[in-house]
């Protein structure tokens, strides 16, 4: 049985949007209310102008609602208004100013809501991604993940803040304008209403094409971002092998393809907007011709024509906006689906029975078999025990399963089959299956120095202290000294405040490995795993670090993974892996005594240069 408080599944795009809106709903609610008030102020002025032209300037009877007629009578009636036309102009100006105020409030609260929405979205994505299994990152490129968390988030933000919030205003304007136009002239209102479904149907016709085009462009942008990210982080490799031209051409080829997709999409969008312009022009001409005709035959007054044309102009933007909302909905839908893929990816599960047992106990691999999806067995029925407080070395050719064994112990990969592939067996610490140990507790007590150390763009002191939440400067210096790094750091002008470039680019390979070792040592974990973490240091430094560790690790259990036998020869026991199986185990002397054994052949190769 497992638990996961943060593994909510979002079955629809709307459900995910609603989740991201937490914390910004009140801002969008005020902005929507302000947008509706803007629409109301826009709807009032054409009626005031109609009454003024027909009944104040002209002689037609005032056909306004009862409350309007009552207000006019209280002011002194139509004769009073004829003598004070500036009052009508002032009223129009006052309503326009109110509309401007509501527009300001709409922009203010809509902007605040949009930024809170983006903040909530990015926080949710980042927090969720950090909890996803290690295997998930092997299946999804960093560039694509970054593109989803930046470009797709921005696309959704634009839709929510610019399209979705204006939908209420658009619908209100169209409905109320059609109501007022129907009250002015029925046949003209019917003609006006005919063009609304034409615009909507045209938008729907373009909907799927725009959506599929945007999806392809979005995917290719992710691939383009991945190429850029790989080259920026691996720039030293590109330079070292003189591959600048190759990588430049590779980027340009992908960029050309990506640009071509957007050009194709722009053609579709251009056709969509031109069709909208044609429909809008025909609609305006139709209304103008009908209005002139009805004015000539006396069924429409000049004021009514002015009001009708004003309402016609007023809903020109909303009708076009309605079409754009439909098309942008397709783009936003693709982006939401791409984020939904991330949010629906299941985080690491924790057993309800998981506890925090002592970690200074024996480690046992019991008939462990593991294979990545679609690959051969990396570990094949592996069983061994690491006594508490002992040092065990693991030796073997590349691909023999050394690193995989360490990753399984740290639960970066699981033995429950969640990552796919063939798995069986179990790993225990003190007799407790590691699947019954809380990950946070397990990983706090396992110090893992990776084969390829990763350093953050911070100072050397910060990078070392990152291994412990409460590390003091004295702890940092002591860990650095054990890793034979303190003297090197002191030689830098800024010492422990020396900035480290991205991924430790300003340090040598040996300095990065020693910094990673210090990161782990500052924590003083119960179990220490060194995954070929001394491969980039010279033999003398290797010996110094091993001697310092032997004197300082106390009762910690140590697992050394290495290709150099000199790194392992002082271990209490050495395991020799080959093609996922343990082919030999014993002390350095015992393994050397085995004639024809893999260990002795590697030893002779490394010490005498014999032919393996």
Q: Which residues contact 337 (CB under 8 A, 6 or more apart)?
A: 13
Is the same domain home to 489 and 460? yes
* Structural domain count, the chain: 3
The pLDDT value recorded for residue 457 is: 79
Is the same domain home to 134 and 158? yes
The pLDDT value recorded for residue 247 is: 85
Is the same domain home to 308 and 270? yes
The pLDDT value recorded for residue 109 is: 94
- Pairwise CA distance, residues 100 & 103, whole Å: 5
Please indicate, yes or no, if residue 545 is contained in any of the structural domains.
Answer: no
Neighbours of 262 (CB within 10 A): 16
The whole domain housing 376 covers 357-445+556-612
Higher-confidence position of 530 and 204: 530
- Pairwise CA distance, residues 249 & 217, whole Å: 20
Please indicate, yes or no, if residue 567 is contained in any of the structural domains.
Answer: yes
Last residue of a domain, one of 502, 524, 546: 524
Q: Which helix (H) or strand (E) holds 260?
A: helix 244-296
Lowest mean pLDDT segment, chosen from 80-89, 196-205, 282-291, 588-597? 196-205
The pLDDT value recorded for residue 538 is: 66
The pLDDT value recorded for residue 5 is: 45
Tokens of 162: 């610019």
Lowest mean pLDDT segment, chosen from 231-240, 243-252, 303-312, 385-394? 231-240
Is the same domain home to 156 and 299? yes
Is the same domain home to 170 and 303? yes
Please report which confidence band the pLDDT of residue 506 belongs to, taking 50, 70 and 90 as the band edges.
low
Last residue of a domain, one of 281, 311, 344: 344
The pLDDT value recorded for residue 105 is: 94
Give the tens place of pLDDT for each residue, 67-108: 777 777 777 777 877 777 888 888 889 988 998 999 999 999
Provide the β-strand partners of residue 355: 437
Please indicate, yes or no, if residue 245 is contained in any of the structural domains.
Answer: yes
Is the same domain home to 391 and 511? no
Average pLDDT, the chain: 83
Question: What letters, b where the CB count within 10 A reaches 16 and e where it falls short, cover 352-370?
Answer: eebeebebbbebbbeebbb
Higher-confidence position of 264 and 421: 264
Q: Which residues contact 391 (CB under 8 A, 6 or more apart)?
A: 557, 558, 559, 560, 570, 571, 572
Instruction: Determine contact, residues 420/373, Cβ cutoff 8 Å.
Output: yes
Q: C-alpha angle 150/233/528, rounded to 5°?
A: 105
Last residue of a domain, one of 506, 524, 542: 524
Radius of gyration of the chain (CA): 36
The pLDDT value recorded for residue 120 is: 93
The pLDDT value recorded for residue 112 is: 93
Please indicate, yes or no, if residue 274 is contained in any of the structural domains.
Answer: yes
Max alpha carbon distance in the chain (Å)?
122
- Pairwise CA distance, residues 467 & 524, whole Å: 10
SS3 561: strand
Give the tens place of pLDDT for each residue, 470-489: 778 888 888 888 888 888 88
* DSSP symbol at 503: G
Lowest mean pLDDT segment, chosen from 66-80, 146-160, 245-259? 66-80
- Pairwise CA distance, residues 155 & 73, whole Å: 54
Is the same domain home to 151 and 47? yes
317 — phi, psi (to 5°)?
-65, -45
Is the same domain home to 456 and 415? no
Q: Is the dihedral of CA 274, 278, 284, 287 positive or negative?
A: negative
Please indicate, yes or no, if residue 538 is contained in any of the structural domains.
Answer: no
Polymer length of the chain:
612
Higher-confidence position of 433 and 164: 433
Going by C-alpha positions, the residue among 432, 347, 344, 350 that lies closest to residue 2 is 350
The pLDDT value recorded for residue 420 is: 64
Is the same domain home to 404 and 423? yes
Is the same domain home to 238 and 303? yes
Please report which confidence band the pLDDT of residue 364 belongs to, taking 50, 70 and 90 as the band edges.
very high
Provide the β-strand partners of residue 395: 576
Is the same domain home to 338 and 363? no
Write the secondary structure of 401-455 as one string of H (helix), E (strand) and C (coil).
Answer: CHHHHHHHHCCCCCCCCCCCCCEEEEEEECCEEHHHECHHHHHHCEEEECCCCCC
Please indicate, yes or no, if residue 161 is contained in any of the structural domains.
Answer: yes
58 — phi, psi (to 5°)?
-90, -170
593 has a pLDDT exceeding 70: yes
Is the same domain home to 498 and 596? no
- Residue 303 Cα distances to 50, 79, 284, 536, angstroms: 4, 18, 18, 88
445 has a pLDDT exceeding 60: yes
Q: How many CA atoms lie within 13 A of 542 on its CB side?
A: 19
Question: Which CATH number does the domain housing residue 364 bear?
Answer: 3.40.50.300
Higher-confidence position of 250 and 2: 250
Please indicate, yes or no, if residue 547 is contained in any of the structural domains.
Answer: no
- Model pTM score: 0.72
- Pairwise CA distance, residues 159 & 228, whole Å: 27
The fraction of the chain above a pLDDT of 70, given in percent, is 93
């Amino acid at each position: 049985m497992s638990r996961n408080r943060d593994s909510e599944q979002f079955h629809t795009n709307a459900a995910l949007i609603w989740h991201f809106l937490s914390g910004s709903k009140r801002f969008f609610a005020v902005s929507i209310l302000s947008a509706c008030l803007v629409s109301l102020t826009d709807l009032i002025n054409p009626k005031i102008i109609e009454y003024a032209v027909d009944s104040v300037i002209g002689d037609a009877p005032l056909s306004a609602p009862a409350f309007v007629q009552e207000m006019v009578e209280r002011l002194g009636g139509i004769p009073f208004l004829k003598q004070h036309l500036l009052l009508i102009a002032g009223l129009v100006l006052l309503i326009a100013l109110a509309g401007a105020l509501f527009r300001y409030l709409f922009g203010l609260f809509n902007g605040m809501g949009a930024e809170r929405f983006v903040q909530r979205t990015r926080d949710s994505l980042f927090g969720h991604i950090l909890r996803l299994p290690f295997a998930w990152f092997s299946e999804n490129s960093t560039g694509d993940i970054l593109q989803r968390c930046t470009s797709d988030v921005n696309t959704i933000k634009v839709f929510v803040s610019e399209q979705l919030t204006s939908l209420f205003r658009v619908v209100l304007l169209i409905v109320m304008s059609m109501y007022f136009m129907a009250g002015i002239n029925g046949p003209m209102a019917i003609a006006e209403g005919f063009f609304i479904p034409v615009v909507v149907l045209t938008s729907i016709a373009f909907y799927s094409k725009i959506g599929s085009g945007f999806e392809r462009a979005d995917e290719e942008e992710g691939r383009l971002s991945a190429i850029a990210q790989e080259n920026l982080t691996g720039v030293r490799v590109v330079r070292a092998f003189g591959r600048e031209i190759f990588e430049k051409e590779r980027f340009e080829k992908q960029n050309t393809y990506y640009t071509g997709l957007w050009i194709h999409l722009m053609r579709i969008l251009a056709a969509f907007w031109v069709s909208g312009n044609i429909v809008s022009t025909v609609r305006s001409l139709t209304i103008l011709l009908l209005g002139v005709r009805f004015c000539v035959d006396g069924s429409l007054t000049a004021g009514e024509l002015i009001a009708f044309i004003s309402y016609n102009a007023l809903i020109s933007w909303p009708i076009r906006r309605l079409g754009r909302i439909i098309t942008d909905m397709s783009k936003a839908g693709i982006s939401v689906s791409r984020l939904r893929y991330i949010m629906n990816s299941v985080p690491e599960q924790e057993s309800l029975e998981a506890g925090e047992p002592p970690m200074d106990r024996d480690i046992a691999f019991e008939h462990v078999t593991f294979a990545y999806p679609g690959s051969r067995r990396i570990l094949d029925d592996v069983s061994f025990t690491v006594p508490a407080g002992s040092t065990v070395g693991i030796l073997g050719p590349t691909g023999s399963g050394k690193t995989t064994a360490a990753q399984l112990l740290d639960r970066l990969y699981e033995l429950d089959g969640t990552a796919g592939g063939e798995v069986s067996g179990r790993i225990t610490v003190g007799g407790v299956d590691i699947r019954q140990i809380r990950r946070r507790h397990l990983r706090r007590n396992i110090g893992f120095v990776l084969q390829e150390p990763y350093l953050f763009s911070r100072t050397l002191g910060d990078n070392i202290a990152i291994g412990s939440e409460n590390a003091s400067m004295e702890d940092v210096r002591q860990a650095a000294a054990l890793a034979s790094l303190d003297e090197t750091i002191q030689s830098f002008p800024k010492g422990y405040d020396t900035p480290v470039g991205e991924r430790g680019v300003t340090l040598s390979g040996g300095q990065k490995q020693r910094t990673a070792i210090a990161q782990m040592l500052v924590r003083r974990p119960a179990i220490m795993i060194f995954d070929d973490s001394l491969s980039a240091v010279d033999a003398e430094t290797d010996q110094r670090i091993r001697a310092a560790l032997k004197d300082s690790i106390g009762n910690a259990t140590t697992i050394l993974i290495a290709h150099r036998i000199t790194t392992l020869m002082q271990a209490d026991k050495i395991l020799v892996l080959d093609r996922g199986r343990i082919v030999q185990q014993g002390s350095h002397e015992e393994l050397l005594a085995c004639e024809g054994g893999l260990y002795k052949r590697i030893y002779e190769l490394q010490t005498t240069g014999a032919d393996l």
